[in-house]
Chains A and B, each alone.
Chain A
Amino acid sequence: MGETMTKVSVMTVDDSAAILTIIAAYLEDSEFSVIASERDGRRAVQRFEEIRPDIVLLDLIMPGQSGVETLAQILAIDPDACIVMISSLGTEDAIHECLTTGARSFLQKPFTRDDFIVFMRGLGKTA
């Protein structure tokens, strides 16, 4: 990718620093750019309001404010926000709750880099 090309901005939210590191590594040298990473739901909502990323990758199970609560609060700020829930929990109940709350999609861990990039492109967001 050329330096001047505008990238699709991404904010990642996960209590695990490991996952934030992995996602950032997966998106390196792609058309996506991680512009913010947060490990706490409340902080993520504030950060979203400030930076308005194109895509939010949001963990479902987090200590304190849950992923679904965070999802609802971000959608209250911007109903068109493109938010993808990421979790190792792929039960029907969990997926249904996320999608009915307004998540654009749901991605179950684990996933490979290639699968992840294909998934991100499938979201249809362009800068």
Chain B
Amino acid sequence: MATTFFGQYLLAKGVIDREALLDALDRQRQSNLSLPELAVQQGLIDRKRADAIMVQYRLSNQTMESILSEIGGLAPEQVERLQHKQRSSWLRIGAALVEGGHLSEEEFATNFEEYRSMESAAEAVSTCVELTVFHLARVAGRPAKLESVGLEEDVLEDGMHRFSQRIFGDGDYTIAVDLPPVLVASVAKGMLGFDVEAGTETEADAVSEVVNLIGGNACTRIEQFGPLLRPEPPIRSAADTLVSPAGPVVRATVVSADVSFDVRVFAVADEET
């Protein structure tokens, strides 16, 4: 999942218009100086040397710190002081919008909170997809790679079997895996270590346990960036009993050798939890 820049988020939401964003970006450009520019401003190096440092930085794999030392002749303490100055005076996009009168302090605070929450949810969804692909490939002993990811209305395609698990707490997500019979068989066999008769409870139970493993591991991983979630026991659905949460769902199509399967993650909005 791509991370959305806060300015883009505000633009997409209609909180600011294009001109406001361009003005804020311009304010950032004027305010946020690079380390060589700061060094010029403080009289540590001249403009010509600052330009040479920027050229070297663009053309090489060296860090800015080492170039400032090598070409600029700055001591490590001087570089550290410049970095501190840069960090403490850095104008962020939200502050630039407030400074330009495009956003009130209150609007900024409210929208930033929503943005942080959305980013956290995006990371949670991404974690669920990644762990699902990893564990299914591991258990089935087949390679698997993501083919596409998108937002779609939920459907269970003909011939697919859905196994799902809800994880909830600081957020509410349902991880669903739609597998063709051949993969159901591979996953069940990989899990149990022996062939299982197709369509039996044993087969369904083995695949459900893999989904349970994914859900539990997802909660553990997601906890590392904040939200605390707990899994519910996994469930198996058929097309005629399928109940999907309202709204779009993230659908990741995964290719495994000659077949494909879907991972779907439903993220219920906060106000619905």
- Interfacial residues, chain A to chain B (CB-CB below 8 A): 15-19, 21-22, 25, 61-63, 87-94, 108-110
**Bound complex: CA of A108 vs CA of B221, how far in Å?**
13
**Bound complex: CA of A110 vs CA of B214, how far in Å?**
10
Instruction: Please name 10 pairs of A and B residues whose Cβ atoms are closer than 8 Å in the assembled complex, sorted by A.
Output: A16-B209, A17-B205, A18-B208, A18-B209, A89-B217, A91-B230, A93-B228, A94-B230, A109-B213, A110-B135
**Bound complex: CA of A118 vs CA of B231, how far in Å?**
28
Residues of A within 8 A of B192 (CB): 18, 21-22
B173 to chain A, nearest CB (A): 14
A55 to chain B, nearest CB (A): 21
- Interfacial residues, chain B to chain A (CB-CB below 8 A): 135, 188, 191-193, 201-202, 205-206, 208-209, 212-217, 219-220, 223, 228-233
A100 to chain B, nearest CB (A): 17
Q: Chain B interface mostly helix, strand, loop or mixed?
A: helix
Q: Are B219 and A91 in contact (CB under 8 A)?
A: yes
**Bound complex: CA of A18 vs CA of B230, how far in Å?**
21
Residues of A within 8 A of B188 (CB): 18
Q: Are A17 and B217 in contact (CB under 8 A)?
A: no
Q: Are B217 and A88 in contact (CB under 8 A)?
A: yes
Among A63, A89, A90: residue with most chain B CB under 10 A: A89
Q: Are B223 and A61 in contact (CB under 8 A)?
A: no
Q: Would A15 and B233 be within 8 Å (CB), given that A22-B191, A22-B192, A93-B228 are in contact?
A: yes
Q: Are A18 and B191 in contact (CB under 8 A)?
A: yes
Residues of B within 8 A of A17 (CB): 201-202, 205
**Bound complex: CA of A94 vs CA of B209, how far in Å?**
19
Residues of A within 8 A of B206 (CB): 18
Residues of B within 8 A of A94 (CB): 230
Partner pick for B230 among A89, A109, A110, CB 8 A cutoff: A89
Q: Are A87 and B216 in contact (CB under 8 A)?
A: yes
**Bound complex: CA of A94 vs CA of B214, how far in Å?**
16
A71 to chain B, nearest CB (A): 16
Among A15, A18, A21, A92: residue with most chain B CB under 10 A: A18
Q: Are B233 and A61 in contact (CB under 8 A)?
A: yes
Q: Are A18 and B217 in contact (CB under 8 A)?
A: no
Q: Are B231 and A61 in contact (CB under 8 A)?
A: yes
Q: Are A91 and B223 in contact (CB under 8 A)?
A: yes
Partner pick for A16 among B208, B219, B230, CB 8 A cutoff: B208
**Bound complex: CA of A62 vs CA of B209, how far in Å?**
12
Residues of A within 8 A of B220 (CB): 88-91, 108
Residue of B nearest to A109 (CB): B213
Residues of B within 8 A of A87 (CB): 216
Q: Are A16 and B205 in contact (CB under 8 A)?
A: yes
Residues of A within 8 A of B202 (CB): 17-18
